[in-house]
Each structure stands twice: as C-alpha cells, then as structure tokens.
Amino acid sequence: MRKYRLMAPGPTPVPEKVLLKMADTLIHHRTPQFQTVLKNVNDKLKKVFCTRHPVLMFASSGTGAMETSVVNLLSRGDKVIVIRGGKFGERFGEISEAYGVRTVNYDVNWGAPADPEVVGDLLAANPGVKAVFSTLCETSTGIVNDIRSIGGVVSKTDAVLVVDAISGLSADELKPDEWGVDVVIGGSQKGLMLPPGLSFLSVSSKAEKLIENSDLPKYYFSLKAALKSYAKNDTPWTPAVSLIQGLNEVLDMMLREGLDNILVRHARLAEATRMAMIALGMELFSEKPSNAVTAVKVPKNVDGQALVKKMRDEQGMTIAGGQGDLKGKIFRIAHLGYMDKYDTIAAIAAVGTVLRQLGYQTELGKGVAKAEEILLDE
C-alpha cells in the first residue's frame, strides 16, 4: 500500500470534513437556503481576503479570474504594465494582448522579485497607464513580490493594481486595503484547501470606476452582472454549489485558526523546507522565497524530471517540476493549505531518498533532522 500525498502548489490536500460537506445533499442555487450559505461565504471571504470590498466568485480556474480582471477594467488600446517574472506574470500579458490591450512589459529575471522603483519609473515614462499587473507569489519560481511597496507606488497614480494571489493567498501576507491593491485574484485549489473549480476576485472602489467604462467583450465574466447579483446574495449564473458549500466549511476552519496563525504556520513549514534542502547540500532558486512553495535547483548530474517522476510514481509524493526554461532544472515543494509539519517532514524524507537513488551523494536523514529541529516547538 502507498499513501498518495499532494505536495505540489496546487491542487493541495482537501480536509476530510470539507470533502464530506461537499458530499452533502445538493441544494438548488435559487433558494433562500443557498442564499443564506452564499451570504455567509461572501462575508467570510472579505475577512480572509482582508478587504472591506466585495469578493466575487466564478466557476472557473484562477485564469478565468485573471481574464475577468482584464476584460472588465480595460478597453481596446489601453496601456498596462505587466510584471513578468515567471509563467503566471507572463499570462497576464498574454491575456491582455489577446484583447488588444497594449502591454509595457517589465521583465524580471526568473527567481528574482520585482523592483518597486522600476514600476514607478515605468509609470512615469508611460502616462495614461490604466493598470499594473503583478503576482504575490510567482508559483513557477517560488518568489514573493513586495506588493506593499508596489502598491505604495501605484496608488499615487490613476492606475489600478491587480495582484494574482492565487498561490500566495493565506501563505504570504497581503493587506489589499492598506497597501493600495485594487483587485486580488484567488483560486480554490491552493491555500483555500478546495478542489479546483472556483476563482475569486475582489474589487475596490477605484476599480469599479474603470468597470463602468470598459468596452472589451464579456458575458459570463461580466463584473457588472456579478456585482449586481452580489448585492442580492445571488449569482448571475449557475454557481458551483457543492464547492461553495465546502468553501463555507473551509472559511470557518481558517477563521477559527486565525489568519495570523495561518501565516505563521506557513512560514514555519517554509523555513523548515528551505533549511532542509540546504542541509542536503542543495541550493534554493528564489532570491526572495514565498512561504507557499520552495523552489530548489536540481543538483548537477541529477535528472530533474526523473526526480519528480520517481517522487510521484514510487514514493506516492506529488511535487512540481520546473516550467518553461526551468524544466528539469528546479523542483518545487509546496507547504500550502491543509498541511502540517509531518506532511513537510515526509516530503523532505522522500526527496532525500530519491536523490540517493539518482546518484546524488548526501547523508540520509540530514534534511529531516534539520526540519525537525526547526519545527520542534510547534
């Protein structure tokens, strides 16, 4: 028997009580019973997103909410700044270009965070920019951007700041209202501990003004329609009822644990993972690591793709490999969502085992010992 463990940065493990809640009797989405659930979820989402503004839901992956932000805030020919430091930063640019939006690309070396001063310089050099697109945690490289400082720069202009927090939400600190973030995008299959299928998007008052003037095509992803229904504890289209019932349970779990405690838990698991990898003689890829996922350089003479495959097929441990030019060059271990110290220790042990099988000379148990030392008092 082999137990299957999800240690990739999405999808992440789902708590058993949430799975059971999603298996509960299905209720119709146009009933007072579901509207009560939806109102509870909407209220709790604002707390988890740390905002007083509406947090809207769509039955889509996070990319659907990314596209929603583009088609509702902008018009054809508008100019935006896109921070491209990985696959998901690049995605914002690809969506914008698909709709005829002009992009000013700020290309950041993969593994490095964006420089807020460069963002300010680009805004000064490009008057009339309508939006700046960034990521909180760039999942493909494992970095976290300084959204507080970027928000401080963007909020002094007429541009709105849109942040992909799909992976970083609940793992890396984010205070949209305090930091000048106008749109926060989330996904269900990360820190929110649900299966894939729900996306989220918060909307500030500044962003709502742009929504009024946008002329890009939209129908299902119309924020005007979503906001109108939101005010009545309803949705414009058929929602993902079972996922929302599970989300209601998840949000209760998160608020009971406490948002600050959740951040501390992720930080401890991340630190244990990073230090364990260093103890095994490896090098971290990210200059400013996120607490959602740790990216590690594959040692020389080790087949990085074989490492990920053996972890999954022989150890029952799904981690992530590198994307794009990083394929085979890094691997990524998540410590995100419904995970505790024993999940992290198990992943570290499996990495050490597979590395030895692939010919990498390291002392078995050394990474685990370092992680246990860090997590001793948890």
Same domain, residue pair 306 and 231 = no
Same domain, residue pair 243 and 269 = no
Contact (Cβ atoms closer than 8 angstroms) between residue 132 and residue 161: yes
- CATH of residue 21's domain is 3.40.640.10
Same domain, residue pair 269 and 144 = no
Closest CA to 204 of 114, 69, 37, 63: 69
What is the C-alpha end-to-end distance of the chain, expressed in Å? 30
| 146 to 136, 149, 235: CA distances (angstroms) | 8, 6, 34
Same domain, residue pair 241 and 340 = no
How far is 21 from 261, CA to CA, in rounded Å? 24
Out of 198, 224, 256, a domain closes at 256
Q: Is the pLDDT reported for residue 104 higher than 70? A: yes
- List phi, psi (to 5°) of 53: -90, 160
Check: pTM over 0.95? Answer yes or no: yes
- List phi, psi (to 5°) of 129: -60, 130
pLDDT at 195: 98
pLDDT at 2: 81
Same domain, residue pair 119 and 177 = yes
Q: Is the pLDDT reported for residue 270 higher than 90? A: yes
> What is the token pair recorded at 143?
């970095």
Same domain, residue pair 222 and 313 = no
Q: How many domains does the structure of the chain reveal?
A: 2
Mean pLDDT, residues 347-356: 97
Out of 233, 256, 279, a domain closes at 256
Strands 160-164 and 183-187: parallel
Cβ burial of 196 (10 Å; 0-12, 13-18, 19+) is middle
Q: Is the pLDDT reported for residue 378 higher than 70? A: no
Mean pLDDT, residues 334-359: 97
Out of 226, 256, 286, a domain closes at 256
- CATH of residue 273's domain is 3.90.1150.10
Contact (Cβ atoms closer than 8 angstroms) between residue 148 and residue 180: no
The pLDDT confidence band at residue 43, using thresholds 50, 70 and 90, is: very high
> What is the token pair recorded at 190?
């990360």
Maximum Cα–Cα distance across the chain: 62
Same domain, residue pair 59 and 154 = yes
Same domain, residue pair 228 and 302 = no
**Domain span at 113:** 17-256
Same domain, residue pair 220 and 273 = no
Mean pLDDT, residues 268-274: 98
The pLDDT confidence band at residue 147, using thresholds 50, 70 and 90, is: very high
Q: Is the pLDDT reported for residue 266 higher than 90? A: yes
Q: In 3-state terms, what secondary structure has residue 261?
A: helix
With a CB cutoff of 8 Å and minimum separation 6, the contacts of 326 are 110, 140, 141, 285
User: At residue 338, what is the residue type?
Assistant: Y
Same domain, residue pair 303 and 154 = no
How far is 120 from 150, CA to CA, in rounded Å? 8
Same domain, residue pair 340 and 274 = yes
Same domain, residue pair 217 and 233 = yes
